[in-house]
Amino acid sequence: GTMVFLNSGSELRYPEVFRDGQREVFLKGEAWFEVAKDSVRPFRVHAGEMDVRVLGTSFNVKAYERMESIAMTLVTGSVEVTCNYKSFRIVPGEQFEYRRGLELASVREVDTELYTSWKDGYYKFRQTTLEEIMETLSVWYGLNVFYVNESAKQVEFTGKVRRYEDARMLLDKFEQTGDVVFDIKGNNVFITIKQKKPFAREWNSFLVKARGMVWQS
Protein backbone atom coordinates (compact mmCIF):
# COMPACT_ATOMS: atom_id res chain seq x y z
CA GLY A 1 0.00 0.00 0.00
CA THR A 2 3.01 2.34 0.18
CA MET A 3 3.78 4.49 -2.88
CA VAL A 4 7.16 5.95 -3.82
CA PHE A 5 7.83 8.56 -6.53
CA LEU A 6 11.46 8.62 -7.70
CA ASN A 7 13.08 11.77 -9.04
CA SER A 8 15.71 11.85 -11.80
CA GLY A 9 19.03 10.11 -11.15
CA SER A 10 17.63 8.17 -8.19
CA GLU A 11 17.76 4.55 -7.08
CA LEU A 12 15.58 2.65 -4.61
CA ARG A 13 16.57 -0.81 -3.33
CA TYR A 14 14.21 -3.11 -1.43
CA PRO A 15 13.79 -6.89 -0.93
CA GLU A 16 11.25 -8.95 -2.83
CA VAL A 17 9.78 -9.93 0.53
CA PHE A 18 10.04 -7.91 3.76
CA ARG A 19 11.08 -10.05 6.71
CA ASP A 20 11.08 -9.93 10.51
CA GLY A 21 8.31 -7.34 10.81
CA GLN A 22 10.35 -4.64 9.03
CA ARG A 23 9.81 -2.58 5.92
CA GLU A 24 13.25 -1.28 4.95
CA VAL A 25 14.34 0.48 1.75
CA PHE A 26 17.61 2.09 0.64
CA LEU A 27 17.59 5.34 -1.33
CA LYS A 28 20.17 7.16 -3.43
CA GLY A 29 18.86 10.42 -4.87
CA GLU A 30 15.43 11.89 -4.20
CA ALA A 31 12.00 10.35 -3.60
CA TRP A 32 8.55 11.22 -2.33
CA PHE A 33 7.04 8.63 0.04
CA GLU A 34 3.38 7.99 0.90
CA VAL A 35 3.67 5.29 3.54
CA ALA A 36 0.69 3.09 4.39
CA LYS A 37 0.13 3.00 8.14
CA ASP A 38 1.14 -0.23 9.86
CA SER A 39 1.76 -0.05 13.61
CA VAL A 40 3.22 -3.57 13.64
CA ARG A 41 5.75 -3.02 10.83
CA PRO A 42 7.53 0.37 10.91
CA PHE A 43 8.85 1.72 7.62
CA ARG A 44 12.53 2.71 7.41
CA VAL A 45 14.36 4.68 4.74
CA HIS A 46 18.17 4.50 4.71
CA ALA A 47 19.57 7.44 2.75
CA GLY A 48 23.26 8.24 3.08
CA GLU A 49 24.03 9.23 6.66
CA MET A 50 20.32 9.56 7.45
CA ASP A 51 17.82 6.94 8.62
CA VAL A 52 14.11 7.81 8.66
CA ARG A 53 11.65 5.72 10.71
CA VAL A 54 7.88 6.11 10.26
CA LEU A 55 4.63 4.25 10.87
CA GLY A 56 2.41 6.03 8.34
CA THR A 57 3.09 9.40 6.76
CA SER A 58 4.08 11.37 3.64
CA PHE A 59 7.47 12.98 3.24
CA ASN A 60 10.28 13.85 0.81
CA VAL A 61 13.86 12.62 1.09
CA LYS A 62 16.68 14.27 -0.86
CA ALA A 63 20.00 12.45 -0.57
CA TYR A 64 22.08 12.73 -3.73
CA GLU A 65 25.64 11.52 -3.17
CA ARG A 66 27.20 14.46 -5.03
CA MET A 67 25.35 17.10 -3.00
CA GLU A 68 26.80 18.76 0.10
CA SER A 69 23.62 18.23 2.17
CA ILE A 70 20.82 15.69 2.59
CA ALA A 71 17.32 16.53 3.80
CA MET A 72 13.95 15.10 4.82
CA THR A 73 10.81 17.27 4.52
CA LEU A 74 7.69 16.12 6.35
CA VAL A 75 4.17 16.88 5.09
CA THR A 76 1.92 14.62 7.19
CA GLY A 77 2.32 12.28 10.16
CA SER A 78 5.48 12.17 12.26
CA VAL A 79 8.91 10.65 11.77
CA GLU A 80 12.07 9.97 13.71
CA VAL A 81 15.34 10.79 11.97
CA THR A 82 18.63 9.31 13.13
CA CYS A 83 21.79 10.90 11.82
CA ASN A 84 25.36 10.99 13.10
CA TYR A 85 24.35 9.06 16.24
CA LYS A 86 21.62 11.57 17.16
CA SER A 87 17.83 11.26 16.90
CA PHE A 88 15.32 13.95 15.98
CA ARG A 89 11.51 13.89 16.14
CA ILE A 90 10.07 15.79 13.16
CA VAL A 91 6.50 17.13 12.86
CA PRO A 92 4.57 18.25 9.72
CA GLY A 93 5.90 21.43 8.16
CA GLU A 94 9.46 20.81 9.33
CA GLN A 95 12.61 19.86 7.45
CA PHE A 96 15.60 17.99 8.78
CA GLU A 97 18.89 18.82 7.04
CA TYR A 98 22.40 17.43 7.48
CA ARG A 99 25.42 19.21 6.01
CA ARG A 100 28.08 16.61 5.38
CA GLY A 101 31.16 18.79 5.28
CA LEU A 102 30.30 20.56 8.53
CA GLU A 103 28.72 17.48 10.15
CA LEU A 104 25.91 19.82 11.16
CA ALA A 105 22.29 18.71 11.67
CA SER A 106 19.35 21.12 11.96
CA VAL A 107 15.55 21.20 11.99
CA ARG A 108 13.52 24.15 10.72
CA GLU A 109 10.00 25.10 9.62
CA VAL A 110 9.60 25.35 5.84
CA ASP A 111 7.05 25.78 3.08
CA THR A 112 6.90 22.09 2.17
CA GLU A 113 5.69 22.85 -1.37
CA LEU A 114 9.10 24.29 -2.18
CA TYR A 115 10.62 20.84 -1.66
CA THR A 116 7.86 18.54 -2.92
CA SER A 117 6.41 20.31 -5.99
CA TRP A 118 8.69 18.37 -8.35
CA LYS A 119 6.46 15.29 -8.01
CA ASP A 120 3.48 17.29 -9.32
CA GLY A 121 5.30 18.49 -12.43
CA TYR A 122 6.43 21.98 -11.43
CA TYR A 123 9.05 23.83 -9.42
CA LYS A 124 8.30 26.49 -6.81
CA PHE A 125 10.93 28.93 -5.59
CA ARG A 126 10.87 31.72 -3.00
CA GLN A 127 13.89 34.03 -2.96
CA THR A 128 16.05 31.05 -3.89
CA THR A 129 19.55 31.76 -5.18
CA LEU A 130 20.50 30.59 -8.65
CA GLU A 131 23.38 28.63 -7.15
CA GLU A 132 20.98 26.57 -5.04
CA ILE A 133 18.57 26.08 -7.95
CA MET A 134 21.29 24.99 -10.37
CA GLU A 135 22.78 22.59 -7.83
CA THR A 136 19.49 20.71 -7.91
CA LEU A 137 18.82 21.03 -11.65
CA SER A 138 22.35 19.87 -12.47
CA VAL A 139 21.55 16.54 -10.82
CA TRP A 140 18.05 16.19 -12.25
CA TYR A 141 19.13 16.97 -15.81
CA GLY A 142 22.74 15.75 -15.77
CA LEU A 143 24.29 19.18 -16.30
CA ASN A 144 27.72 20.66 -15.63
CA VAL A 145 27.33 24.27 -14.47
CA PHE A 146 29.93 27.03 -14.89
CA TYR A 147 29.57 30.64 -13.72
CA VAL A 148 31.26 33.23 -15.93
CA ASN A 149 30.30 35.86 -13.31
CA GLU A 150 30.50 34.81 -9.65
CA SER A 151 27.77 37.33 -8.83
CA ALA A 152 25.32 35.27 -10.93
CA LYS A 153 25.24 32.70 -8.14
CA GLN A 154 23.42 35.14 -5.86
CA VAL A 155 20.65 36.12 -8.30
CA GLU A 156 17.35 35.17 -6.63
CA PHE A 157 14.17 33.78 -8.12
CA THR A 158 10.62 33.66 -6.78
CA GLY A 159 7.79 31.95 -8.64
CA LYS A 160 6.47 28.73 -10.08
CA VAL A 161 7.47 27.11 -13.38
CA ARG A 162 6.49 23.91 -15.14
CA ARG A 163 8.88 20.99 -15.19
CA TYR A 164 10.14 20.23 -18.70
CA GLU A 165 11.89 17.14 -20.03
CA ASP A 166 14.29 19.42 -21.89
CA ALA A 167 16.41 21.53 -19.53
CA ARG A 168 16.79 24.20 -22.23
CA MET A 169 13.07 25.03 -22.08
CA LEU A 170 13.22 25.40 -18.31
CA LEU A 171 16.33 27.61 -18.37
CA ASP A 172 14.67 29.80 -21.01
CA LYS A 173 11.98 30.62 -18.44
CA PHE A 174 14.60 31.72 -15.93
CA GLU A 175 16.36 33.77 -18.59
CA GLN A 176 13.13 35.59 -19.50
CA THR A 177 12.44 36.66 -15.93
CA GLY A 178 15.94 37.06 -14.47
CA ASP A 179 19.18 38.95 -14.97
CA VAL A 180 21.19 36.01 -16.31
CA VAL A 181 21.94 34.35 -19.64
CA PHE A 182 22.38 30.60 -20.12
CA ASP A 183 24.73 29.36 -22.85
CA ILE A 184 24.09 25.62 -23.26
CA LYS A 185 26.65 23.48 -25.03
CA GLY A 186 25.81 19.80 -24.77
CA ASN A 187 25.58 19.04 -21.06
CA ASN A 188 27.57 22.14 -20.11
CA VAL A 189 25.79 25.33 -19.01
CA PHE A 190 27.66 28.65 -18.85
CA ILE A 191 25.91 31.39 -16.87
CA THR A 192 26.60 35.10 -17.26
CA ILE A 193 25.00 38.30 -15.99
CA LYS A 194 22.93 40.10 -18.61
CA GLN A 195 24.58 43.19 -20.03
CA LYS A 196 22.51 46.33 -20.18
CA LYS A 197 21.78 47.59 -23.66
CA PRO A 198 23.99 50.47 -24.86
CA PHE A 199 20.89 52.57 -25.54
CA ALA A 200 19.83 52.21 -21.94
CA ARG A 201 23.24 53.35 -20.71
CA GLU A 202 23.23 56.33 -23.08
CA TRP A 203 19.70 57.28 -22.01
CA ASN A 204 20.65 57.07 -18.33
CA SER A 205 23.68 59.26 -19.05
CA PHE A 206 21.47 61.77 -20.81
CA LEU A 207 19.10 61.89 -17.84
CA VAL A 208 21.99 62.54 -15.47
CA LYS A 209 23.24 65.39 -17.65
CA ALA A 210 19.73 66.75 -18.00
CA ARG A 211 19.22 66.75 -14.26
CA GLY A 212 22.55 68.52 -13.89
CA MET A 213 21.48 71.19 -16.34
CA VAL A 214 18.18 71.75 -14.54
CA TRP A 215 19.94 71.84 -11.18
CA GLN A 216 22.46 74.39 -12.45
CA SER A 217 19.68 76.63 -13.74
85-94 pLDDT, tens digit each: 899 999 999 9
Tell me how far CA of residue 111 lies from CA of 80, 92, 159, 197, 209, in angstroms. 20, 10, 13, 38, 48
- 174 against 203, higher pLDDT: 174
Confidence of residue 201 (pLDDT cuts 50, 70, 90): very low
User: Is the predicted pLDDT of residue 65 greater than 60, yes or no?
Assistant: yes
Give the mean model confidence (pLDDT) for residues 149-165.
88
Give the mean model confidence (pLDDT) for residues 116-133.
91
User: Is the predicted pLDDT of residue 125 greater than 60, yes or no?
Assistant: yes
User: Is the predicted pLDDT of residue 204 greater than 60, yes or no?
Assistant: no
Give the mean model confidence (pLDDT) for residues 59-81.
94
Give the type of residue at 134: M
Give the span between the Cα atoms of 108 and 98, in whole angstroms.
12
Confidence of residue 197 (pLDDT cuts 50, 70, 90): low
User: Is the predicted pLDDT of residue 208 greater than 60, yes or no?
Assistant: no
Give the span between the Cα atoms of 53 and 79, in whole angstroms.
6
Tell me how far CA of residue 79 lies from CA of 12, 45, 133, in angstroms. 19, 11, 27
